[in-house]
Structure 1
Amino acid sequence: MLINGGLMSESLRQDAVTSEIVTYMRRMISSGKWPVGSKIPSENQLRTRLNVSRTSLRSAIMQLAALNVLKAKQGIGTFVISALHDEAIFEETGKNMAVKKEIVQILEFLKIVAPTAIFLEIKKFNKCFKGLERQLNHAVEAQRSLAYTDQAAFLQSCFEFHIVIFNSIVNEFVRNSVVEAISRLQTSVAALQPTISSQVILTLHTKLISAIVDEDAKRACSVLKKLYTYLTAHDYLRNLS
């Protein structure tokens, strides 16, 4: 199927273009035209040469950077830092990049929907979270201990924490939509097992409990928005390989 044939969705077309750019870059490196230690052409030069978008080009560079083949130095350029890895590693990276894209999409959805849902539920049904304080505090204490012993279990515990909160929402449609999104996020993150700083998450979880207990809709909304914004923007998403 031709990329320019108009038969592919925009997302699939972009993925295909990115794959072609990666193939081109690998060929330049393996042929010795871009030797280890050399600086590759600038972003503008590559975009002109390959007639591709900035998004596709950066995605390709990110894939090779995740494999420690390329390294971008801010204000200087992008350099070849090691020889190519085995083909199988590239295939696995492609799968991981697809999972990473799904993670970002889910987080963007939750960043918009979840804070608003919390705000409206507290405003309309200010007793919907009544009785959760003890359970949520216990969950955060468990997260605190897991953060230093088992990163994967810590992240899974965080997802369960959010599922408990949103399962208490009265609006069935919103409840099911958010819980399903969190469950999908839980599965996707488990597949990649990223390492992420836990202190910010623990602090925001504690503040979220306080806002829920105080039935402070505005504060709960703000805390949740900060949490999902942090997760969406965090460096671990750029470092997934």
Structure 2
Amino acid sequence: MPPLGAVRPSPLVEQAAARLRAQITGGEWPVGTRLPGETTLAKELGVGRSTVREALRALAGAGLVRARQGAGVFVVATEPAEDWPTRLRRAAVTDVYEVRMAVEVHAARLAARRRTPEDIEAIEAALEARRAAAARDDAAFIDADIAFHATVVAAAHNPVLADLFREFTPSLRTGLLDLLALTGLRDQDPNAADEAHAALVRAVAEGDAEGAAEILRGELEDPFGPEHG
């Protein structure tokens, strides 16, 4: 194994983690390899044991190594695990849409049960903003459409659902923009699916949980109206 070489100070942990990661991803330490002990690594890297410990923790967080009680730290992968945002950026828009369906349909059901007067005001304002954006370009319309759906999700008052929606919004936006560019779905109806969105507002405002869920399910299955199906 070639010498690792001492790292320069500041930030030591990041530099140490990068050196160790390079050994792993470069094939110097294959999967199953037991890493040298902290004292050995600290000496080779020219850092303290606490720095090595933090660097190994970072590598474990990336899915590259795993500590085994009483046995040491072992390489378990040679490529870092993709985080959630990265995986979403690489996902097919159809896969993202299936996740969107699961998240938003349930969120609509919860929103109808939990909405406050302030939530209804926000949803109605977002609907009007969507209508106003119909006169603008596709990007503005998609942004307004996503903002509308975000207010419905927010009305569910479940922070996990809201976080999930935020995470896949960039991939969803890209996919919808591509769809509009390829098909010109708004050429005949710039304010596509307005009726479905208005019906969703009414269902949430009236506390009709199952009605809201069904309206949203139908809209997401055919997001720009049946005439475009």
- TM-score (structure 2 length as normaliser): 0.49
Question: Which structure has more RCO (C-alpha within 8 Å, separation ≥ 6)?
Answer: 1
Higher helix share goes to which structure?
1
- TM-score (structure 1 length as normaliser): 0.47
